[in-house]
């Protein structure tokens, strides 16, 4: 597979996952406003903005309408939801010969739908429903990809991009809720009962959590579920397992000398999560643990690029 094709498939998947994640967080936050007072709602918006890597999370607009527009529909904001959908579509357009026509039609349809929405109409009606529809559209794109694309090397790069992105997004979201205040970081109020329920919903995990732990809301159990559960699709462990699995499928595409670093880093991260426990995390601190997950994911990303995408001719000769 050409490296440019692998690059586009990889980033198409990352941006699609980022868009769906953003739509989900905004939907839950907008729905939560109905149940919360002004102070709790403001704190919830600060957490959401930080989790979405907003450009200025410490000084959000006092108006949720303006905040939502900035992080969802402002085209000049590279972190906005609409920017992520546009980037996913652009990468899909560059590799149309490698994907199915159904995939292109869905991501193009989603892009056109989002870019023609009237924001005054959205806010005057039910803005949460808009983000439900956007998230459903991205899920449909991911489902169509799974159902219509040949599960070969290209699909493996899509899986790799999806789950590297998911592991980082979930780790960042958990950091907002679980990490104690840092001297050089944002300071959030201690989450309350309703905040923990919102966290589970932001990870599509409320019902799944209740099936494992019943309806008992315990921050420690929530952390254990969203970090270590091997069967829940939005847990860090599930995402890390998928990253290693995708890399194992991709590995034959590069010589052993160049792919060894990728395999080593993915194996180290998998062991770090697989053999971790909440007792160890609690003893060492949740913030260092999540920071390590983020750092190791970034290292895997860099290694994938050096091994499969941006390598030079001299690397091929050496191999």
Same domain, 250 and 128: no
Same domain, 174 and 317: yes
Q: Is residue 66 part of a domain?
A: yes
DSSP class of 40: H
User: Do residues 190 and 199 make contact, with C-beta atoms less than 8 angstroms apart?
Assistant: no
Identify the pLDDT of residue 261.
86
Please provide the DSSP assignment of 109-169 as one string.
HHHHHHHT--HHHHHHS-HHHHHHHHHHHHHHHHHHHHHHS-SSHHHHHHHHHHHHHHHHH
* Residue in the block written with tokens 């869905």: 106
Short-list 68, 88, 248, CA closest to 165? 88
Identify the pLDDT of residue 318.
46
Same domain, 204 and 284: yes
pLDDT tens for each residue of 198-207: 999 999 999 9
The last residue of a domain, from among 94, 121, 149: 149
Query: In whole angstroms, what is the distance from residue 61 CA to residue 98 CA?
Result: 43
Query: In whole angstroms, what is the distance from residue 97 CA to residue 117 CA?
Result: 30
Number of domains observed in the structure of the chain: 2
Q: Which domain holds residue 218?
A: 165-319
User: Do residues 82 and 71 make contact, with C-beta atoms less than 8 angstroms apart?
Assistant: no
Show the tokens assigned to 296.
């190791």
Same domain, 36 and 101: yes
User: Do residues 298 and 291 make contact, with C-beta atoms less than 8 angstroms apart?
Assistant: no
Same domain, 6 and 91: yes
CA dihedral 275, 280, 286, 291 (to 10 degrees): -50
Query: In whole angstroms, what is the distance from residue 191 CA to residue 135 CA?
Result: 26
Same domain, 195 and 144: no
Same domain, 172 and 317: yes
- Please identify every stretch of the chain with a pLDDT value under 50, giving residue numbers as ranges: 313-319
Identify the pLDDT of residue 256.
74
Show the tokens assigned to 316.
């091929």
pLDDT tens for each residue of 112-134: 999 999 999 999 999 999 999 99
User: Do residues 309 and 261 make contact, with C-beta atoms less than 8 angstroms apart?
Assistant: no
């Amino acid at each position: 597979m050409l490296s440019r094709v692998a690059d586009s498939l990889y980033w198409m998947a990352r941006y699609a996952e980022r868009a769906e994640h953003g739509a989900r967080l905004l939907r839950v936050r907008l729905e939560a406003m109905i149940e919360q007072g002004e102070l709790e709602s403001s704190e919830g918006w600060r957490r959401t903005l930080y989790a979405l890597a907003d450009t200025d999370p410490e000084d959000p607009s006092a108006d949720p309408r303006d905040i939502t527009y900035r992080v969802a529909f402002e085209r000049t904001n590279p972190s906005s939801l609409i920017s992520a959908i546009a980037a996913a579509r652009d990468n899909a357009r560059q590799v149309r010969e490698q994907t199915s026509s159904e995939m292109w039609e869905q991501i193009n349809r989603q892009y056109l739908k989002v870019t023609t929405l009237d924001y005054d109409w959205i806010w005057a009606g039910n803005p949460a429903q808009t983000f439900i529809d956007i998230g459903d559209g991205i899920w449909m794109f991911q489902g169509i990809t799974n159902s219509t694309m040949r599960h070969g090397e290209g699909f493996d790069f899509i899986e790799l991009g999806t789950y590297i992105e998911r592991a980082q997004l979930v780790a960042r979201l958990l950091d907002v809720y679980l990490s104690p205040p840092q001297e050089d970081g944002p300071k959030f109020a201690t989450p309350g009962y309703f905040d923990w329920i919102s966290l589970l919903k932001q990870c599509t995990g409320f019902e799944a959590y209740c099936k494992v732990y019943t309806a008992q809301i315990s921050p420690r159990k929530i952390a254990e579920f969203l970090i270590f559960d091997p069967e829940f699709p939005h847990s860090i462990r599930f995402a890390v397992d998928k990253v290693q699995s995708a890399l194992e499928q991709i590995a034959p595409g590069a010589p052993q000398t160049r792919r060894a670093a990728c395999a080593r880093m993915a194996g180290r991260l998998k062991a770090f999560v697989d053999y971790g426990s909440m007792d160890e995390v609690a003893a060492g601190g949740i913030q260092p643990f999540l920071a390590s997950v983020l750092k190791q994911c970034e290292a895997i990303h860099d290694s994938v690029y050096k091994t499969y995408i941006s390598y030079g001719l001299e690397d091929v000769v050496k191999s």
